[in-house]
Each structure stands twice: as C-alpha cells, then as structure tokens.
Structure 1
Amino acid sequence: MGSAKLEHMFDIFPPEVADLGALNAGELVDAARGWARAENAACARKLAVMAEIFARRTSDSAEERELWWVDPEAAVAAELAAALQLTQGLALHQTHRGVALRDRLPKVAAVFEAGLISDLLVRKIVWRTWLITDPQLMAAVDAELAGQVSRWGALSEKKLEAAIDATVIAHDPAALRQPRPGTADRAVEFGSPTDEPGYTSLWARLYSPDAAAVCDRVNRVADSVCAADPRSHAERLCDAFGAIGAGLETLACRCGHDDCDAAGRETPTRNTTIYLIADAETTEEPTETVEPAADHEPATETVEQSETEPAKPAKRAKPAFAFGAGVMPPALLGALVEGARLRYVRHPGDSPAEERYTPSTALAEFIRCRDLTCRFPFCDKPATDADIDHTVPYPVGPTHASNLKCLCRFHHLVKTFWGGPDGWRDRQLPDGTVIWTSPTGHTYTTYPGSRLLFPSLCRPTATLWFGEPPTPQTRDGRTAMMPRRRRTRAANRSRAINAERKLNAEHSDRGSDPPF
C-alpha cells in the first residue's frame, strides 16, 4: 500500500521519529496510537501475502507430496521463514493465521486491514473460532465479530476471550474451546528454551509417593557431607542429582579437612564431550598453565614491562560456546571441565579430500565446531544434532571441509527434496560461507557460527573449483526416500477438530457443566 493511501486511511499520517521533539505529551500519545494502527494494518497485509503464497504453493503441488514428512506446507514455511527472518514454527503459525483470516474470517480481516484491531486480538479470534466447521455458521460468526470487535473497548484478556466465546456459543455451542478435566499425565522434561548456557533445567510430574521417595533420597545424599562443607544446601541438592545420576549414594565433601571421612569419597564420572575450540597453533602441549583466579573471576596473564615500553593489556579469558545453548561465561567453564578429557579440534588447512562419503571423526568435529548450528537461514538447531551435508552431492562433490556444512534433518530434507533448478540451491565458499538461493530467486547468506567467537576456524580451506560448481544429475526414484506421514496435515487437523467437538457435544448431551 502506498503512502498516499495510508494517509487517506488514517486521515493524518503519524509523525516520523525526527519530528517527535516538537510534539507535546498529548500529541505523542496520538502519534503512538497512529503508528499502532499502521502496525496493525501492515501486519494484516503481511499475513495476507503469506496466505497467498501458501495457497499457490500448496494447491499446485502433487497429491503425493501431501504425505511427505516435509510436505508442501513445511516447504513454503521454510521459504517464508528465510524471507521474514523467522523460525520455521513461527512462519507456519503466521501463515495459518493468514489463511484463516482469508478463508474463514474475511470480515474480521477487513477490520484488521483497516488497523482497528491488533494481531494479538486476531490470534484469539482465530484460535477460539477454530472448531466451527459449518461454512454458514462460520460466516455468521465472522460478520458478528467484525461488527462488535472495534466497539469492545479496553477489555482484559479474559474478558476478550469471554466476548468471543459468547458469539461462538450463540451460533455453534459445540465449537467452544474449553479446558479439559485435570487428567495431567506423568512427564519428565530435560532442558528449557530459557536455560542459560551451561545449565539444563529438570522438570517432572510424578505420582506423589514417587516424588516423596525422590525428594527423600536427594536430601539424604545432599546431607551426606560434614557441616564444614562450603556449599549451600541448594548447591548440594543440585550436586546430589548429579551424584545419583552417576550411581553414587553420597557426595564427596569439599571442606578440605584431612580428618573428614567424606572428603575422599568417589566423585561422579562424567561422560560428556566438551570441545576446546582454539587456533591450531595454540593446541600444542602447553608449557605453562594459567590457573583461574579466586572467586571465579576470569584468569588473566600479566607481563612485566620496562619503563620505556608501553603497557600491554592483560589477556582476558575467552568465553566458550555450549552447543544448543549459546555463549558461556569463562567463570562457568572451570566447573564443567573439571576432570574432563580434552580433545583438540584442528583446522584442516589445505588437507585433500577424504576418499569416502562419511567424513572422518576429526573432519566431522571441525565442521560442527566451525558451524555451531544448522546453516539454513535463521535456523539455530545445534550442530551436534545436525547432519553433515555435502553442498555439492557426493561423489561429484568431495568429502572436504570446503564442501561440507551442518544442516538439521528438516532443512537437509528441504534441500534434498525441494531443491534443484526451480527450488533451493546452495553454494559454499572455502571459509564456510553458504549462499542460499530460494525458489523465487532471492538469496540469503549464512556465515559459520564460529565467525565471531573463534574466527581462526573460518580460515579458508582449499578451493575445490573455480567458477560455478558442478551440478549432479538428479537420480530417478529419489522421492521414494522421503519419510512419509500416515495422514496429511489437513486430515490430522480435521480429526483433532472433530474429536474436540465430540467431547463438547457429549458434555452438552449430559447437561454437565463445562469442564473448567
């Protein structure tokens, strides 16, 4: 939409940032409201664009591909995720919201396009009307919500949900979204997206007797040291989980007293591999060890200077990188590597290609440490959980650092089965840079994750070819290798909607209260 049309829609276009200094407080509030409306209108148009390209990609695809694990929906989501700098999941959710607005809620979409409602409210409307299956009822709900939504005023989140639900119940009671009875399943989860690098959270829902037994044992192990142990009770509880995981019944005391019977106990044997990423020339046997400073401060090295020489800055300990988590402070590294066996990862330099498809352990470790994550645009899946992909397929493309990169399984399948002259194409440079070309011809450049933290790992390796890389012929029957779904996504959505409607109908037939 052009600027002139936006000015007509909002009467007076909101002021730019450079003009804010001349506004009074009331005018600033009006400016914030004006830009919020413009933001709503822009979001509506973005979702409409996503819905349009989604419809084209999914309607033109062969029916067989609907059962692919990376089906047309997933493929177009990957394309939109790269274009909009989103994760795969966010791109797919936004696309489905755009499709719902276009196909199920066109009148609400028009109010959204005018900037009168926010994306947050649109999400609630799409979610809480999702169970309506009759097109006529859906049209009636759409019209009623569109007429009411801009007049609801400043409602809380619960009141907004209640207003939407009231319209749904009036037209289709079986379509009400409602929580189910408290039949929580037992579960154990390791790790959370909010975990800081170097830490992993543990959450569990157990039967009460089992939880009591675990609690008792953890506390007994935590209390198995003497009173002089310097750790807090919370720290000893954490160490107790580690000891129990290693099969131990007690903790080794850290009091430092020679007469403490608990001081010499066995400590947990760790089986975790930690990579020490360093320049190749610095990974020789060290001649001097720098111990960490007290109070967990980064270790530093000082150099005596003569009066005529300028002082050199002290060397600072560099941070580490925890695969799947991110940058880890140097102070935490010591606790994690205590008692660990370190294995050096060396830059391959100008080493020749390996005469096999699967890279050697040394080459694979270098690729993972160089890339750190999946190399598809805006994907952050850790390299330790990724496949090692030949950019130019083997055997035309050799098993060489200049032709290998990390791709998570999903994006590996996207490249393999949605690639080619009219699909995704990638080109790799000797320093690990990968240039992706999308099905529409747009390009996205990704760099190795170690580029900023460990730049020596990005030194160029051998140049394999000059000019355009070779293009292998596509093998017949390759699509048979794509993992298959039992049912299409559309069938799964239909089953879920029908199952939830059936539960609602059963409660209604029995005359029972909604299971809140």
Structure 2
Amino acid sequence: MFGGTRSEQERATGIVAAAVSRPNELLRNAEAAVAGQAYLEWARYDAAAQLHRRLVEPHDDTAVALRALDPFAVCAARLAAAQQITQQGAEHHLSRALALRDRLPAVNEQLRQGRVVAHHIATIVSRTDLIDGSAFMADIDHEIAGHLQRNGSWSKNRMRDMVDSTIFRRDPDLVRNDREDAKNKRGVWSNNIEHGMSAIDAVASAEETAMIMARLERLAMSVCKADPRRKSDRMADALFAVVMAREFYCQCPNDPKHPCTADIRTVPTHEAVASGIDVKIILHVIADQATVDGSADSPGYLAGHGVISADHVRDIATKPEVVARSMGNDYREVRRDESFAETAPTSHLDDPRSAEAPSFVRDRGDPEQVSEEHTSSDGDLTPRTLYRRAPRSIPSVDVRGTPDAVEPPFVQAVPLPAVQPGDPYRPSAVADSYIRIRDCYCTWPGCDRKAWGADLDHTHEYNHNDPATGGHTHPGHMKVLCRFHHLLKTYSDWLDDQYPDTRNGRTRPVFITPEGRTYRGPAWTGEDLFPVLARLVWDAGPVPRRRPSSQSPPFTDGRQKTRTAAKHVRRQQERKRNRRRSQETDELAPPPFSVT
C-alpha cells in the first residue's frame, strides 16, 4: 500500500522506529500520527470533492440528474470501491467533502494543517448544516477556524458546544426556526437487537431528557455497594420501575453480616408503588441576564446537555418551578479618601457586556452543596482585585454630583467571597458554581465528564497545616476534574499546573506526563460562551493561620517531612522549572502537520 522503504516512510512522516523509542518519543509518534491522519483525511475529502467536480457537476442541469442512479450515486460508487466502504458510507463521505469545500473552506484548511483531529470533522459538518446558504456562512466558517487555531485540547462535547455557540450567536433567527421544526419531531421508538434484547430511543426537549436521566441515575446510585449490577444495568431496571410504577430494589445478597445499606424511597400509590419520586432534581441553566430579559439573543448552557439557544433559555425561564439566581459583583462609588487600583486593561473594562452577569436558572430546591472533593491551584496569582472602571450600563451609580467622589466613571467592585466562612479549604457556593460554569467539563485533555458531579481540584496541593504556603482556594487556582482524573493526578506521577494567559487573563491548565511531556487543557471553555466570567472580582479573605502542631519533635534520624509533604514540595519545584522552560508567547504555534 505504501511505497518506499521503512526509513523513507519514517523520514516522510516524522515518526521514528518504535522499537528503539523512549516514552516521550512514542508519545511524539502518536501526536505526529494524529496530525498526519488529519492531513490524510483532508486528502481523501479533497479527492472526493474533485471527483464530484469532474463527474457530477457537469450533469447538474441535465436529465441525467433525475435518474434513479444519478451521477452522485455513481460517483460515490467509485469512492466506495476505492476505499473499501459501503455505498452509504461513501455518499456520506462525499457529502462531507462538498461541505468542507463549499461551506467550510477555512475549516478545511485547518484539517490540512493538522490543527483539528480528523474524527471531529463529522461533528463540525453536521452541526453546520443549518448555515448552508446563510448570509453568515463565511463569518461562521472563519470564526470556527479561528477557534481551531488555538493551543489547547478538544473533546467531542467541547467541539460541539463551540460550533453551536458560534452559530447561535451569529444567526439566532436561523436557529429559532429550526428549533420550532425540531419540537414537532419528538417521539419514542423501539428497536429489536440480538439475544432477545430491545433498545428504546426517545426524542424530547433537552431539559426533560436531563431530568429523566438525572432521576434514573439517582435511583441507580441508591443501591448499596454489594449490588452486583453495573450502573448501566441498574439504570435500565430503574427506567422500567419508574415507567411501570414498580418498586426498584437493591439486588445485593443481603448477608446478615453485611446488611443492605441501600437508600431507596418507595412510596405506595393508589394501585401501585413508585420508587424515587421524592428525588430532588436540580438542572443548571446558565445565561446572560440580558438573554433572560429578552434584550439579547446570546446562547445559554444547560449542564449535562450543552449549548442551547436564547429562545430555549427563555422557554425554560418561564416555567413556574424555575428559580433564578444571579451571580456578579455589586458596585459602589469611590470616594476621594479611598485608594484606587485599576486591575484590568481599559479595552476589556469598557466592554458593555461586562455588566451582564450570568444568571442561574434551575428548579426549586436547596442551594447546591459544595462538592466534598477539592484540590488546589497556584500561588503565583494575586487572589484579590479592588477596583475597576464602571461598565457603561450600570445605572445605579452616579458619582458626578457627589463632591467627595473621584472622577467618574470609576467605581469599586465589591469582591465575591472565594472561600467558605471558617473553612479556607472549601470554595464558597458562588465560587463553586463559577468554576463549574467556566470549565463546563472535566479539564483533562479529551475528557467530557460534566462539571456538575465532578470534583473541584486545587491545582497546587493545599497545605492544611500551613495554608499560606500553598494551594490557595481561589477560582484562579482551581479547576474541574472528574473523579478518575482527580485520582490519577493525586496518586500518580502526573503533574499539573494552572496560570493566567498573558494575552487574555484566562486561566490555563496544563498536564505533564511522568516523563515530562506537556499537554494543554481545553481550548474552549465557558469563558468563550460567557465572556463576563473573566471579569468577576474575588476576595480570597484573610490568609489562614498556621495550624498548631501537636506532634513531638522528630528524632534526629527520622524524617523532617512526611512522604506526602515531600511529594508536594517536589511538585512545586517541578512546576517552577516547567514554567521557566515554557515561556508563553503571543504567537500561535506552527501547524503540527503542514504540507505544501
């Protein structure tokens, strides 16, 4: 299939022989292969598009195009034979090739340069079907390509959300019409599969589906640890119990020595029983206040689902069971006897969107409890900000007629609390929500686990004995990690770091393999969806005092530090060395695989 000797192939691809490679070289080979695969996929699409131009387009306005076996099908048959795929697969491939050529040429160029992984192309093409023929098609194409040029990692959900938010923001009318059509396509279907099993498919609104899944998941997780079923099996059993008004129960052996500890609430009804009806379900919907009010059409975000349109946000906001909670800084006028410190560039502070604090829309219930799992971030950031230039749209502050006020339009931003009162280890409720909104998903490269239900991790390990020396609890020092990646970071030799991007002030996590290979965190986050998040002001509170030690002085031949403390010190030193080696620049990295 591939001509040339093995050494010639290695020189052409930049991949060295695996038999003599070290771990970092093997990882570099994998990275080069992924970038090379993107270029090869571009070559496939390019060949298909050119074949279409030669064989199909000359017959577009002729009677041949009306045949059952039209030129498109005949062209796809050639591609199917050449690539050893089905006719249907070849037709889908040809359609994507035409979309990249005609609708998304800038994205197509990013694929050629290896900046986008090949398997994300199907997502980008399918999510942009709406814009075919739109007046904003070229703008959307270039904006998506601009996101793909960023240094950072992508996951399937982040790619989907980035494309959706770009379209929703550019052409809300197009999305509005399409959503009205989608409402009429709801339904439930069953499909027979092998071994006497059947699958159920359902199409409903995003919030209804999220509520159903949340209830099933809560029921599935209410059994004791001795239940032998997998979580997916328990959710299937929970679905049957809920729909048929049957009792859902734990299937553990119920050994007298180890009694069942399941917590399943079953309530009898008139003619049956129902399990889990008292489960309190909270859906998190985030949107700009202007979108909720109807004065803007910016997209929102439904946790567990992804980006939703402005109309969808307003539909949810009008439901009677919804409770709205705002998040943002209050402002007060600055007097002459008060010091002033402007903490952000004027170009950012003058953005009128800065006054539009995000709103939380969710059903009635107790405030979300802060996750029990945390881990900490960086100590190089200053976790406090005092004053900012007033956003243009703050009507409640008028300092011009106040004789002892500073020159307008300066006001003081009242900082939001970053930590819980009396517990400097745990973030406040508003900081907890902020971090989850900002990150959207687990920040580990490629991970799609949703932020709500995941852990909040101090990037730099929190020092419980002397909090002032490491691991400040502050949004700039914390990130979302799913339980698996949280454990991997904590108990393995992986190293992570987190610091502000000098170009835009956004927090940037990085992850470093035990051998020193560095991978960046997500290229697209909630700060792209809600730019105002980067402008919130936080107060970390007073520096916690050192905890008095009750331990006896160590023996002269003993350890001066515990193994854990020594590991934390070593990690801090490694982070500093990595930062010195990795100088941030304002220029984009060169394409990973560019062929001229």
Which is richer in helix? 1
Superposition TM-score tier, normalisation by shorter sequence: 0.3 to 0.5
In the superposition, the TM-score normalised over structure 1's length comes to: 0.35
> Which protein is bigger by CA-based radius of gyration?
1
In the superposition, the TM-score normalised over structure 2's length comes to: 0.30
